[in-house]
Structures are given as C-alpha cells and as structure tokens.
C-alpha cells in the first residue's frame, strides 16, 4: 500500500481521443462544397493531427463523412486515414448512406464496432440517421440497445457519440434539424450517472453545454464552418478543425479545439 503522500501524487491514466466530423468527401478529389475542396481540407487536418505529440490513440468520426453518399467517397476516407494507423470508429450523419458505410468502412484500422472499451472508458456510438431527412432521430430499437449497454457497463465512465445535437445550439436555422426525440434520449441517460460526455457533429462549430452533470460537446467541421448563433444559414471564417479529448481513468476529462491553417 502506498503512503498517503504518494497516493496524492499518482495521476490517473489518460486516453487521447480526436473527434473528426463532417468531412463531406466526394467521389472525386476536385469536387467542392461552398467553394472549398473538402478532400484537401481533410488532408490538411490529418497532416496536422499526425504531427501532434502525443498522437491520438482513437479517432471518432461523428457523421457526414460523405457528401454524395458514394462508395468511392468512403473508400477515399479509409485511404486517407490508413497512414495514421490509429483505431477509428464511425457513425452516420444525414448526408451519409448507412448501407454503403456498413459495406465499406471496415478495413485497415477502421472499425464498425459501436460499443467498445479503451483507457478505462466505455464508448457507445448511436445512429441518429433518418434516410432522406436532415434532422435526426434515435429509433426505439437503438434506445433499448443504449439502455442495455449502459446497464451492463456498470460504473465505468462512458462517452456517447451521435451526429445530431440532442440540445439546441442557439442558432435558429440549425435548431430545426437537431435530434427530434431528445426527451427519450435524456430519459435513458439520466438514469446512468456514469455517462460523462455526449459528443456530436452536424453543427460545423465548437459548442459546449452542461446538463445534469453531462457535458454536450459539438466540434468544428474538417471543411466549412457555420457561424455560431446565426438566424439564417451563414458561413463563418474560422479555419477547419477538430476536437481533442483527454479522458482520465477516474472519469474526468480535458478538451480543446484544434484549428488548422492551410
């Protein structure tokens, strides 16, 4: 047994996670979204990420990975990620094709797993994808799965990922396409205090909100950025970016936004 003075000095172990979201890749490299070549901005983000010290140990991709739902766009995503050799997990966004993702995104270091443990934390990735719709919804089947997973995890600190924000982000036009059944989602996670973090994409901007001790975090896109608190659709001049999360084994965390000049 360690003396008390040494116990106080022992720091919990940590896990570095990068959230990349809303890449909006196309079948062809030269295709653009709002005059921005999304393949190039994503490559710039990956170059920046590869230079980080220490390197992230997990990548979480939180939807809208493709813009044209093409088989080739998901192939390109895997090709761009492969040199990093970082375990990568994904979930779908409203611009994605879930059937194509499930067919393609399971090679190299990219995994289709939606429940896994790493670094003393449990990760649960939920689909809020509704075919042909911009807004999101979690199906009753997924809510039951979430409940079963949270019950089985015990007291292990847990991060939940989805594409659509379950809370308003104070942007009138974006708040029309958030998760449409958040009360059902909240009803589940409110019963499990080991849920510490909920991360999401869709909003193309940094966002933080706390509800009942759970932090809700949105991330910048790796391509175009939406202006915060805008009434109508409006682009921001901020650079592409991503979110870094340092998850400690005692259930605490630190987070910051990385922007990429390119």
Tokens of 261: 């000049």
> What pairing do the DSSP bridges indicate for beta strands 235-236 and 225-226?
antiparallel
Tell whether 202 is covered by a domain.
yes
Tell whether 2 is covered by a domain.
no
Of 30, 50, 27, 52, give the one whose Cα is nearest residue 40: 30
Please give the average per-residue pLDDT across 116-120, as a whole number: 97
**Cα 75 to Cα 72: distance, rounded to the nearest angstrom:** 5
Tell whether 9 is covered by a domain.
no
Structural domain for 119, as ranges: 14-259
Tell whether 226 is covered by a domain.
yes
Tell whether 122 is covered by a domain.
yes
What pTM did the predictor assign?
Answer: 0.94
Q: What is the DSSP string of 139-175?
A: -HHHHHHHHHHHHHHTT--EEEE-SS-SS--S-TTGG
Domain count, the chain: 1
**Polymer length in residues for the chain:** 262
Tell whether 1 is covered by a domain.
no
Tell whether 184 is covered by a domain.
yes
Q: Is the dihedral of CA 138, 78, 34, 62 positive or negative?
A: positive
Of 208, 202, 140, give the one whose Cα is nearest residue 173: 202
pLDDT digits (tens, 9 = 90+) for 149-172: 999 999 999 999 999 999 999 999
> In CATH, what number is assigned to the domain containing residue 98?
3.60.21.10
Tell whether 221 is covered by a domain.
yes
Q: Model confidence at 9, in pLDDT bands (50, 70, 90)? A: low
């Amino acid at each position: 047994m360690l003396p008390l003075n040494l116990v106080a000095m022992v720091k919990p172990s940590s896990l570095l996670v990068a959230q990349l979201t809303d890449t909006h890749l196309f079948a062809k490299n030269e295709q653009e979204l709002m005059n921005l070549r999304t393949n190039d901005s994503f490559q710039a983000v990956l170059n920046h990420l590869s230079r980080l010290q220490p390197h992230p140990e997990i990548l979480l991709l939180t939807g809208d990975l493709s813009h044209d739902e093409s088989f080739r766009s998901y192939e390109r995503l895997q090709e761009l990620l492969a040199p990093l050799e970082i375990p990568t997990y994904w979930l779908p966004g409203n611009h994605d094709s879930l059937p194509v993702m499930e067919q393609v995104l399971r090679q190299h270091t990219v995994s289709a797993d939606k429940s896994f443990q790493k670094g003393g934390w449990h990760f649960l990735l939920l689909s809020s994808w509704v075919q042909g719709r911009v807004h999101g919804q979690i199906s009753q089947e997924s809510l039951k799965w979430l409940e079963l997973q949270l019950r089985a995890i015990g007291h292990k600190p847990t991060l939940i990922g989805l594409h659509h924000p379950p809370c308003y982000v104070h942007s009138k036009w974006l708040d029309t396409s958030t998760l449409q059944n958040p009360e059902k989602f909240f009803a589940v996670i409110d019963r499990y205090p080991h849920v510490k973090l909920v991360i999401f994409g869709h909003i193309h901007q940094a966002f933080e909100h706390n509800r009942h001790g759970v932090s809700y975090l949105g991330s910048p896109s790796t391509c175009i950025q939406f202006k915060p608190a805008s009434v109508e659709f409006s682009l921001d001049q901020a650079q592409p970016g991503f979110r870094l999360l340092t998850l400690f084994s005692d259930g605490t965390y630190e987070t910051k936004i990385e922007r990429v000049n390119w």
